[in-house]
C-alpha cells in the first residue's frame, strides 16, 4: 500500500492534474465512478507498473523476513554416572557460576573404593619397609655364607696340602668330604646372593609398580567420587530444576534440569530469508530488526554469516529411497545477524520472534571511476528505495503491539 501511494504521486496525480486544469475534467461530472478508468487510464496503468517495479526492487535488493528468532542452546544437567540424589545445593531459577555444585549423588560405593585404594597404598608401603628389613637380614646371611665358604675352603686346602706332603697322613675319603662341604657352602652363598638380588628387585621395581598401581586406583576412585557431585559446566540460570532428594537420575534417560547460559540469545539473531535473495545477501550488509519482546525499538544489525547450504535439501541415508516430491517445501537461506553496537540485544528475551530487513549497499561500486552513467543512476535508485523498506519496518514496529494484542485476539 505504501509503495502504491508513493507511485500514485508520480503517475495518477499528474494525470489527474492534466485532466483537471488542461482538459477541464472534474470529479462528479466528467470524472465519475464509471468513467474514472477511462479518464485516468494512463496514470493508473503507469502506477500499477511502477508499483510492481518498485516492490520488486525493494524486496529483492533489500530483503525482509519475519522468520527471525534469537535462538539459543541450553545445557542439560546430567550426571556422568547414574545414582540416587543425596543432597541438593541450589534452587529453581537460581543463577549459578561455572563450577558451582548443583547436587550430590549417594557416594557410599565410591567412598569405599577410595578407602580401599588408600589401604592398598599403605599395604605396599608396609611391604616396602618389611622388604628393606629382609634385605638387611639377607646381607647378614651373605656374610655368614661367605665366612663358611672361606672356612670350608681353608679346610679343604689344608687337607689337600697334607695329602701332597704325605699321602698316608690324610685319607682320600676325608678330602672328598671336605670338597663336598665346600661345594655346599658355595651353594648356600649363591642362594643368599640370589635372595638378596630378589629383595633388591622387589624394592626397586615390584613394590614401586604396585604402589603406582594403587595410587592410580586411588586417583580413579577419587575421580569417580568427584563425579557424584554434579557441577555447573557454564554460568547460567537453572530452569525446570525440580529435583528432589531420593530421586534416581540417569545420564541417558533422567536429566535433572536445564541450564540456560548467561549469553543465550544475546549474541546473534538467526534469520531465514527466501532462496531468491541468495545472490543479494552478503556478509557485511547492514540490517535492522524489531522484536516482539521489545516493541517500538529498531535494532541496528550486521550480517556476519550466510549459510552456504539450505537445510530443506538435507538428505539422510535410510532404508527407503527418498522421492524429490517429498522435499517440495522450499527451505530458507539461514543468515546470522549480530548487533552493530554493544548490548544491542539487551532486554530481548531469548527466543523472541523478530522481523528483519537487510539493505544492499552499492557505495564501493558507485565510487568506481569506470561505472557508466546508466549504472550509476540505477544503483542510486536501488539504494534510495531501501528507504521505503526502512519506513515499512518502522511502521511494523509501531503496529506490532496492536497486531499482537488487539488484532491477534490476545
Give per-residue pLDDT as tens, 359-393. Answer: 988 888 888 888 888 888 888 888 888 888 888 88
What per-residue string of b and e applies to 68-82 under the rule 16 or more CB within 10 Å gives b?
Answer: bbbebeeeebbbeee
| CATH number for the domain harbouring residue 214 | 1.10.287.620
Q: Are residues 111 and 202 in the same domain?
A: yes
Tell whether 24 is covered by a domain.
yes
Among 179, 204, 227, the domain boundary falls at 227
Summarize pLDDT for 63-92 with one digit per residue, the tens.
989 999 988 888 888 888 888 888 899 888
Is residue 322 domain-resident? no
**CB–CB of 256/77 below 8 Å?**
yes
Instruction: State the number of CA atoms in the 13 A half-sphere of 315 facing the CB.
Output: 11
Average pLDDT, integer, range 120-129: 88
162 assigned to some structural domain: yes
Residue in 77, 410, 393 with CA at minimum distance from that of residue 247:
77
Residues spanned by the domain of 293 = 64-72+265-313+329-403
Decide which of 166 and 292 is more confident: 292
Same domain, 274 and 207: no
Residue 141's Cα: distance from chain center in Å? Answer: 67
Burial of 240 (0-12, 13-18, 19+ CB in 10 A): middle
pLDDT of residue 170: 62
Lowest-pLDDT range of 5-14, 52-61, 385-394: 5-14
Same domain? For 399 and 270 the reply is yes
CB environment 286-310: b (16+ within 10 A), e (fewer): ebbbbbebbeeeebebbbeebeeee
pLDDT tens readout for residues 210-258: 888 888 999 999 988 888 888 888 888 888 888 888 888 888 777 888 8
SS3 category, 163? helix
Residue 379 resides in a domain: yes
SS3 300: strand
CATH number of the domain at 358, please. 2.40.30.170
Number of neighbouring beta carbons within 10 Å of residue 184: 13
Chain centroid offset of residue 247 CA: 28
pTM of the model: 0.68
Cα angle for residues 340, 343, 346 (degrees, 5° grid): 120
Which residues are within 8 A (CB) of 353 and not within 5 positions of it... i.e. 6 or more apart? 66, 68, 69, 291, 292
Residues 191 and 128 in one domain: yes
Q: Answer yes or no: do 271 and 345 share one domain.
A: yes
Q: Are residues 308 and 382 in the same domain?
A: yes
Amino acid at each position: 500500500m505504501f509503495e502504491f501511494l508513493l507511485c500514485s504521486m508520480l503517475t495518477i496525480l499528474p494525470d489527474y492534474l492534466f485532466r483537471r486544469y488542461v482538459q477541464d475534467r472534474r470529479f462528479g461530472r466528467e470524472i465519475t465512478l464509471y468513467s474514472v478508468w477511462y479518464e485516468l487510464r494512463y496514470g493508473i496503468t503507469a502506477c500499477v507498473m511502477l508499483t510492481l517495479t518498485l516492490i520488486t526492487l525493494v524486496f529483492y535488493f533489500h530483503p525482509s523476513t519475519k522468520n527471525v528468532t534469537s535462538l539459543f542452546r541450553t545445557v542439560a544437567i546430567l550426571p556422568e554416572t547414574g545414582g540416587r540424589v543425596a543432597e541438593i545445593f541450589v534452587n529453581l531459577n537460581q543463577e549459578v557460576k561455572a563450577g558451582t555444585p548443583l547436587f550430590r549423588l549417594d557416594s557410599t560405593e565410591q567412598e569405599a573404593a577410595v578407602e580401599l585404594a588408600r589401604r592398598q597404598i599403605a599395604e605396599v608401603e608396609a611391604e616396602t619397609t618389611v622388604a628393606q628389613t629382609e634385605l638387611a637380614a639377607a646381607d647378614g646371611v651373605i656374610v655368614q655364607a661367605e665366612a663358611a665358604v672361606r672356612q670350608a675352603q681353608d679346610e679343604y686346602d689344608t687337607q689337600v696340602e697334607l695329602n701332597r706332603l704325605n699321602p698316608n697322613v690324610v685319607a682320600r675319603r676325608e678330602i672328598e668330604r671336605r670338597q663336598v662341604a665346600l661345594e655346599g657352602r658355595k651353594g648356600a652363598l649363591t642362594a643368599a646372593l640370589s635372595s638378596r638380588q630378589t629383595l633388591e628387585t622387589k624394592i626397586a621395581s615390584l613394590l614401586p609398580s604396585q604402589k603406582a598401581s594403587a595410587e592410580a586406583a586411588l586417583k580413579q576412585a577419587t575421580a569417580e567420587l568427584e563425579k557424584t557431585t554434579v557441577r555447573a559446566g557454564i554460568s547460567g540460570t537453572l530452569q525446570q530444576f525440580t529435583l528432589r532428594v531420593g530421586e534416581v537420575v540417569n545420564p541417558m534417560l533422567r536429566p535433572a534440569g536445564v541450564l540456560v547460559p548467561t549469553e543465550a540469545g544475546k549474541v546473534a539473531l538467526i534469520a531465514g530469508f527466501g532462496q531468491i535473495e541468495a545472490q543479494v545477501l552478503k556478509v557485511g550488509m547492514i540490517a535492522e530488526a524489531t522484536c516482539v519482546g521489545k516493541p517500538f525499538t529498531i535494532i541496528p544489525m550486521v550480517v556476519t554469516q550466510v549459510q552456504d547450504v539450505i537445510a530443506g535439501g538435507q538428505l539422510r541415508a535410510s532404508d527407503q529411497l527418498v522421492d524429490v516430491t517429498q522435499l517440495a517445501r522450499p527451505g530458507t537461506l539461514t543468515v546470522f545477524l549480530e548487533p552493530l553496537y554493544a548490548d544491542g540485544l539487551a532486554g530481548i528475551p531469548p527466543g523472541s520472534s523478530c522481523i528483519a530487513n537487510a539493505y544492499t549497499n552499492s557505495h564501493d561500486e558507485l565510487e568506481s571511476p569506470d561505472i557508466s552513467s546508466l549504472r550509476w543512476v540505477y544503483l542510486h535508485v536501488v539504494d534510495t528505495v531501501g528507504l521505503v523498506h526502512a519506513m515499512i519496518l518502522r511502521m511494523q514496529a509501531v503496529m506490532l503491539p496492536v497486531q499482537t494484542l488487539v488484532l491477534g485476539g490476545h
